[in-house]
């Protein structure tokens, strides 16, 4: 190869490397502009979907006392601001999804219960405490129904479980997510389950279970 050919080839290679470097720098700059902290511009966002299974304990507001029941539930959530890795550094603090819960008939209760609806989550903090603890505030809305086993119980005031019913329900809650290992975590919540029939009734619900992000 002649000296002239080597010179031309070297010039072409240098020009190509320079163009690639400029392109990469421009992309990093364009991503950094989208974030308050440029140092986080190349951070991969967390998984945008979460599947959860959990145990629930209910304390229903009934005349003279609270009726206790246990059940199971599942929840699927999506990050509403999920985008390409090259266009976002941190996941959104908001997620939306749907849930379903079921409490079978238990001794001394004579009714089963189901609850389905949609839910919105908000991470209270931008980053988890100690890298693992993340407080969460939620609001759910949906339908709660009861299936009475046996004859209805007639009463002046409405009592949950006296007969088969379908009710609109809201469920504001607060809780905490705890990272366990990789994408596996634990979530615990305290719900104020509000049903609407004649007048609003407030019921306590405690839930805890495992979550998997992907």
Instruction: Report the C-alpha gap between 178 and 129 in whole angstroms.
Output: 10
**Is 40 part of any domain?**
no
pLDDT for 128 equals: 81
Q: What is the pLDDT of residue 82?
A: 52
Rounded CA separation 40/170 (Å)? 37
Q: Are residue 58 and residue 136 in the same domain, yes or no?
A: yes
- pLDDT in the model for residue 157: 60
Residue 16 backbone class (left: φ over 0; alpha: ψ -120 to 50; beta: rest): alpha
pLDDT of amino acid 1: 53
The predicted-structure confidence for 63-80, as pLDDT tens digits, reads as follows 777 888 999 999 999 987
Q: How far apart are the first and last CA of the chain?
A: 54
- Statement to judge: residues 10 and 61 lie in one domain: no
Domain of 81: which CATH number? 2.40.160.20
Token match 């086993």: residue? Answer: 149
pTM of the model: 0.69
Q: Give dist(CA 85, CA 108) in Å, integer.
A: 54
| Residue 39, pLDDT score | 45
pLDDT at position 93: 82
Residues of the chain with pLDDT under 50: 3-45, 84-89
pLDDT value, residue 91: 56
213 Cβ neighbours under 8 A, 6+ residues apart: 46, 47, 49, 50, 183, 185
pLDDT of residue 47: 57
Q: What is the pLDDT of residue 13?
A: 41
Counted residue by residue, the chain has a size of 214
pLDDT at residue 65, rounded to an integer: 76
In this predicted structure, what is the pLDDT of residue 44?
A: 42
Number of structural domains found in the chain: 2
Task: State the DSSP H helix or E strand holding residue 26, giving kind and residue range, or none if neither.
Answer: helix 3-33
What integer pLDDT is reported at residue 88 of this predicted model? 45
Query: Which domain does 26 fall in, by range?
Result: 1-33
């Amino acid at each position: 190869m002649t000296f002239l050919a080597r010179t031309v080839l070297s010039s072409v290679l240098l020009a190509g490397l320079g163009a690639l470097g400029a392109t990469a720098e421009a992309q990093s700059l364009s991503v950094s502009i989208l974030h308050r902290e440029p140092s986080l511009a190349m951070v991969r966002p967390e998984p945008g979907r979460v599947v959860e299974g959990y145990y629930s304990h209910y304390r229903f507001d009934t005349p003279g006392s609270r009726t206790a029941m246990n059940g199971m539930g599942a929840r699927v959530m999506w990050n509403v601001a999920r985008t390409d890795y090259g266009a976002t550094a941190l996941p959104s603090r908001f997620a939306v999804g749907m849930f379903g819960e079921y409490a079978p008939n238990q001794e001394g209760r004579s009714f089963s219960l189901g609850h389905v609806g949609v839910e919105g989550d908000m991470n209270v903090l931008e980053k988890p405490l100690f890298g693992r603890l993340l407080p969460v505030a939620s609001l759910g809305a949906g339908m709660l129904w009861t299936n009475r086993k046996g004859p209805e119980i007639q009463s002046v005031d409405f009592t949950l479980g006296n007969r088969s019913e379908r009710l609109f329900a809201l469920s504001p809650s607060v809780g905490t997510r705890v990272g366990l290992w990789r994408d596996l975590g634990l979530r615990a919540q305290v719900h104020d389950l509000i049903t609407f029939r004649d007048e609003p009734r407030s019921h306590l619900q405690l839930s805890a279970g495992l979550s998997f992000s992907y």
